Amino acid sequence: MPRYCDPPLMYMERAATSLFGVKRYGVHVNGYTRDSSGNLNMWLARRSLTKQTYPGRLDNMAAGGLAAGCSVRHTLVKECGEEACIPPGLAEQARPVGTVSYTYEDDDGIFPECQFVFDLELPLNFQPHIGDGEVQAFYYYPIEKVKDLLVSEEFKPNCAMVVLDFLIRHAIIEPDSGLVSDHQVEFDSMPFMMRKTITCISSHFRALLSRICGWIAQITIKTDR
């Protein structure tokens, strides 16, 4: 079976990949802090209003496409520096936690994509700064606030999936509690396949799933532990 680390057979302009259904890759970084009591907070970015796709939506702290000839780690450090002014030494501490893969279709074609996901625990006194202008603002939210935003229309869809994966991996969403803030969830099945899965049965979660499912044809989240 082909692997990402195998030598490429050819190179293609990123904008042309949808014409051939060629998978595109990217890197997404969850920036978060944990205080002495174990409470989690997360840094989120708001996309610039000049972005061609999903302007003004919430995004992960740093994210970007993976270009030919660039390693995943190099892209991670580059995007952290360009978008959030995170020093390379700090960005290098990010931990790879898995991938989020999905396929969606729009008027421009079919887009299979795979995002390499990293968790970066930041110092409590750290604050990202706007770098290349792709972000208009950064927000520092308690994890409960992040959960509420996740079911709103604020998030870019694939970034919402990355955050959802974070919440499950860090046991913010648990099968025994069944409650996510005001939103009832259960860990059985979901329109997108996950090693850990949830089905959202509140009206807010149904609305989120409807938007996501309308945007994609298939989603698979794989986590390597």
Express each pLDDT in 43-64 by its tens digit: 999 999 999 888 999 999 999 9
pLDDT confidence of residue 111: 81
Compute CA 82 distance to the chain's CA centroid, rounded to the nearest angstrom.
17
Out of 3.40.50.170, 3.40.109.10, 3.90.1150.10, 3.90.79.10, which CATH number does the structure's domain 14-222 have? Answer: 3.90.79.10
Who wins on pLDDT, 203 or 72? 72
Dump pLDDT digits (tens) for 93-146: 999 999 998 887 777 777 888 999 999 999 999 999 999 888 999 999 999 999
Does this model's pTM top 0.85? My answer is no
Going from N- to C-terminal start, the domains of the chain cover 14-222
Largest interatomic CA distance in the chain: 50
pLDDT confidence of residue 68: 82
Q: Which two tokens stand for residue 63?
A: 């994210």
**What sign does the CA torsion over 31, 34, 38, 42 have?**
negative
Nearest Cα neighbor of 116 from 154, 88, 76 is: 76
Instruction: Report in angstroms the alpha-carbon separations of 184 from 153, 203, 214.
Output: 18, 9, 22
Q: Is the predicted pLDDT of residue 219 greater than 50, yes or no?
A: no
Burial class of residue 107 in the structure, from the number of CB atoms within 10 Å of its CB (0-12 exposed, 13-18 middle, 19+ buried): exposed
pLDDT confidence of residue 210: 56
DSSP per residue over 95-146, as a string?
A: EEEEEEEEEEEETTEEEEEEEEEEEEE--TT------SSSEEEEEEEEHHHH
Mean pLDDT is lowest, of 5-9, 84-88, 118-122, for 5-9
Can you tell me whether residue 200 is helix, strand or coil?
A: strand
Can you tell me whether residue 157 is helix, strand or coil?
A: helix
